[in-house]
């Protein structure tokens, strides 16, 4: 789905011309805006690089901002015969990082993007310098909200997620606290890539990839990601967190703080899972301060 197919109504919100990276014949789309130190932004499910638009607009004035669309998501290709495992998403991100020869990366991750981003950092540790993790996890947990668990039920889950678009459709209302922020245009932006059964394949696969027991194929990958976290304990971490997130609750934030006791935390009481929609006006200046205080050159 090339960016030229974006509706004109989205051009002001998403005024970027994404680049294309080939992965086994599939188009992997990403934004590459600005110059300077690299900020790599990694989205989760069911969003895409559109979620980072306000961050890219701001930080690209003085940084190189890269925001990816995982295969099956956003403007990337959505092959129907692809596995869409977390291991594949991590490997794809590593391929992009190595292809662009990115160094001194500041990683920004949300939802599954935290796990995928930290997974790439664990495999390419010398390329990462600073981390901003918001409403995400990169470690094992048995917590899964009922409304997500239902989407994992065979047949019923596929019908709801892929047939009725219930997962992406619910996110545009249930993932924010301030409903007024989700204007018709922004709602259109989030839903545009997932406009039919075929284009929702990765949204459904992400739900199925949640590993709740060791027998799950992705459990081993998550253990790898978790075990690699310790090598970054002395790296600068910023943890902006929407405290009204019903999915990645503050229990997950507590675990991040336990693993990274020197991390800076920005608790935002009136923000939900899509904290970048509810509170980007708070997060962006905090990130600016964080980047200056933890200068790579220093």
Token representation of residue 270: 């009136």
pLDDT of 159 over the 80 cut? no
pLDDT of 150 over the 70 cut? no
pLDDT of 160 over the 80 cut? no
Q: In what order do the strands lie in the sheet with 37-42?
A: 19-23, 26-33, 63-68, 37-42, 105-111, 128-136, 237-242, 264-268
Q: What is the CATH number of domain 3-293?
A: 3.40.50.1820
Higher pLDDT, 216 or 29: 29
Higher pLDDT, 263 or 208: 263
DSSP string computed for 227-270 = HTGGGGTTS-EEEEEETT-SSS-HHHHHHHHHH-TT-EEEEETT
pLDDT digits (tens, 9 = 90+) for 236-286: 999 999 999 998 999 999 999 999 999 999 999 999 999 999 999 999 999
Q: What is the pLDDT of residue 187?
A: 97
Confidence grade of residue 169 (pLDDT, cut at 50, 70, 90)? confident
pLDDT of 55 over the 70 cut? yes
pLDDT of 140 over the 50 cut? yes
pLDDT of 154 over the 70 cut? no
pLDDT of 144 over the 60 cut? no
Q: What is the pLDDT of residue 151?
A: 47
Mean predicted confidence (pLDDT) in 52-56: 98
pLDDT of 146 over the 50 cut? no
Q: What is the pLDDT of residue 143?
A: 65
Asked whether the bond before 46 is cis by omega within 30 degrees of 0, the reply is: yes
pLDDT digits (tens, 9 = 90+) for 81-91: 999 999 999 99
Q: Whole-angstrom Cα distance, residue 240 to residue 78?
A: 31
Q: What percent of the chain has pLDDT over 70?
A: 92
Q: Whole-angstrom Cα distance, residue 68 to residue 71?
A: 9
Token representation of residue 237: 């971490």
Q: Whole-angstrom Cα distance, residue 295 to residue 298?
A: 5
pLDDT digits (tens, 9 = 90+) for 92-139: 999 999 999 999 999 999 999 999 999 999 999 999 999 999 999 999
Q: Whole-angstrom Cα distance, residue 121 to residue 137?
A: 14
Report the 10 Å Cβ neighbour count for 98: 13
pLDDT of 298 over the 90 cut? no
pTM score of the predicted model: 0.95
């Amino acid at each position: 789905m090339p960016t030229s197919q974006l509706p004109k109504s989205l051009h002001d919100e998403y005024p970027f011309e994404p680049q294309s990276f080939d992965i086994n014949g599939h188009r992997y789309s990403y934004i590459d805006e600005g110059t300077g130190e690299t900020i790599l932004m990694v989205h989760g499910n069911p969003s895409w690089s559109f979620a980072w638009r306000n961050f890219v607009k701001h930080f690209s004035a003085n940084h190189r901002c890269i925001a990816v669309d995982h295969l099956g998501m956003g403007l990337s290709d959505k092959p129907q015969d692809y596995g869409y495992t977390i291991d594949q998403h991590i490997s794809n991100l590593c391929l992009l990082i190595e292809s662009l020869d990115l160094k001194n990366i500041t990683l920004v991750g949300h939802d599954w993007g935290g796990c995928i981003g930290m997974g790439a950092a664990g495999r390419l540790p010398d390329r990462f310098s600073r981390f901003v993790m918001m409403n995400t996890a990169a470690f094992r947990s048995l917590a899964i909200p009922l409304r997500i668990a239902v989407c994992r039920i065979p047949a019923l889950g596929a019908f709801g997620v892929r047939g009725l678009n219930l997962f992406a459709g619910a996110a545009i209302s249930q993932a924010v606290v301030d409903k007024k922020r989700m204007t018709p245009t922004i709602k259109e932006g989030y839903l545009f890539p997932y406009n039919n059964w075929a284009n929702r394949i990765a949204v459904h696969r992400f739900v199925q990839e949640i590993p709740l027991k060791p027998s799950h194929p992705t459990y081993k990958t998550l253990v790898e990601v978790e075990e690699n976290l310790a090598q970054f304990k002395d790296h600068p971490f910023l943890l902006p967190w929407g405290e009204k997130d019903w999915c990645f609750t503050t229990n997950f934030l507590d675990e991040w703080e336990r693993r990274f006791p020197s991390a800076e935390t920005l608790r935002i009481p009136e923000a939900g899972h899509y904290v970048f929609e509810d509170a980007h006006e708070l997060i962006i200046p905090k990130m600016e301060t964080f980047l200056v205080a933890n200068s790579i050159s220093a």
